Structure 1
Amino acid sequence: MTDPTPGAVLRGAVDLSSLRSRPAAASAPAASDAAAAGAEPSLVFDATDETFGQVLELSRSVPVVVDLWAEWCGPCKQLSPILEKVVTELAGRVVLAKVDVDANPQLAQGFRAQSIPMVVALIAGQPVPLFTGAVPEAQVREVFGQLLQLAAQHGVTGTVPVSEPTDDAEQPHEPELPPLHQAAFDAIEAGDYASAISAYEAALAENPRDEDARAGLGQVRLLARVQEADPGAVRAAAAASPLDVTAQLAVADLDIAGGHVDDAFDRLLELFALLPGDDRAPVRERLLELFGLVGDADGRVIRARGRLASLLF
């Protein structure tokens, strides 16, 4: 994230100027409007292309963390609960704005969201890049601590009022995960993706019909592959070697993680068509894995499956 040392200047390669002048929707969570209405703004809320002007205004009084995500993105589903948990524990010192990049293309473009999950902060209307990809809870806490220091240096020290629960018995409780699923989740939080993969594989060995484990396995495998990848180097290697299966698979992973689903499928299908029969197996396997991540009912998957079938027969 931006250097949190005293006197640091807020900066980021993000142009949000086109979103500042948008009319604010009635439901946008501006703290001042909520107070005037006698209501309390939520600590976690959805932000859209239309309501983002108010989100920018809110960031002048309290730091706003922006979570850019998508429904099909496995790593997003691992990270979002961690962000919500840490924001809730900070009790109004930070709020979380969730942006569905598929539904809000102008925000995705404004933040230059080439890979998701992407997490950015707003302080006094200015963007502060935090991190890309799912990260362990301990790292989220550390980054948020630095964010609060940076916000204080720039005079953004307000809080959002938080209602105290009146009856613990009324609070919903998360259902307990099966032991192997819990082990996988704990390993993901610790950044130990190899152990998470092993736990999901063990769950599938016990019950091959465990679709949650199958989905989790695909998600954490993708997360492990892209977590340390250098996008520039990966794409350069693929451009230099169009028939290098490993290089092309790596770019497809980045495209899927960044929401460029059709690009990933097109790349792998074109590679599949060019390769001799004996070299096609890894590409087909990766396509099937990515189909499962995006979802069999997704139109992009249906089209890509049709193209793959035509290449096979």
Structure 2
Amino acid sequence: MTNPRNRQQAAAGIQAAAAMSGAVDLSALAAKAEASRQAAAGASGAAAGGPGVTEVTEANFEAVVGRSQEQLVVVELYSTRSLECLELSPVLAGLAQRAGGQWLLARVDVDVSPAIAQAFGVQSVPTVVALAGGQPVSAFSGPQPEAQIQGWLDEIFAKVGGMVGGGAPTPAATPEDPRMVAAEQLMNDGDLDGALAAYRAVVTADPGHAEAQAAVRNLEFILRAQAHDPGIVDTAAPHDVDAQLAAADVLLLSQQPEAAFERVLTVVRSTAGDEKDRARTRLLELFELFDPADPMVVAARRKLAAALY
């Protein structure tokens, strides 16, 4: 267990993290909240690096389909085991972010949410499906050049402009959610356990609340990483999976994400069965703390795909 002083230091660390080049943005939950509200309410769930990208599971898929009544939704069905998916994902994410909210990129890991892939009748990945008015209107499979994808999007907007908003939405002023305000205050006061409980309560009541989900992920990571002895980075035995995963947490908390990724990748390469799957799952969890288009994450995803084959 950490003492109050350590927790206060952690809260300060959250505020400092965003300013560090190449670091995971464990900070500015308030800033992320504002960015999320201004990008799109509800299911849009803006990614840390910009608006227009959200991760989708079976839990929030219905809300994302509903979102297509208001704006074009592009569903990317991918697998981290596919090199073609790893090539296409940053291209789509970059287009979505530069679109400034004109359309939403909804990313579905078919290994995590196979029922969604079945619903679309996906035969291979990557598969990309455009939704407008709650219905599929166009699709393609396999990696495509950025210019070709932009042309595909332009054609869709020309055809379905009346079904969804044709430009970037101008959000109305949204009242502060008192639950989120209270949770943020607990975090700012250094009560990370209390803040985590408060954010979890929001997610329980509102499973599609992307801002609260992001806060839970960030705080769960911080509290888990704080519980480790920092010396584990140097003392972890090569074949001790638990120790190596703990060392990765410590490295990431100390703003060394590339070293953290490599620790987990080493475990993936050197293990099999349940241990390999556990390491893979942990690495994907760490990726979720970053902008999916971050070059560091893209590179690590490529290495993960190679390690799994």
TM-score interval, smaller chain:
0.3 to 0.5
After TM superposition, the score normalised by the length of structure 1 is: 0.42
Structure with max Cα Rg: 1
Q: TM-score, normalised by structure 2?
A: 0.42
Q: Which structure carries more relative contact order (alpha carbon 8 Å, separation 6+)? A: 2
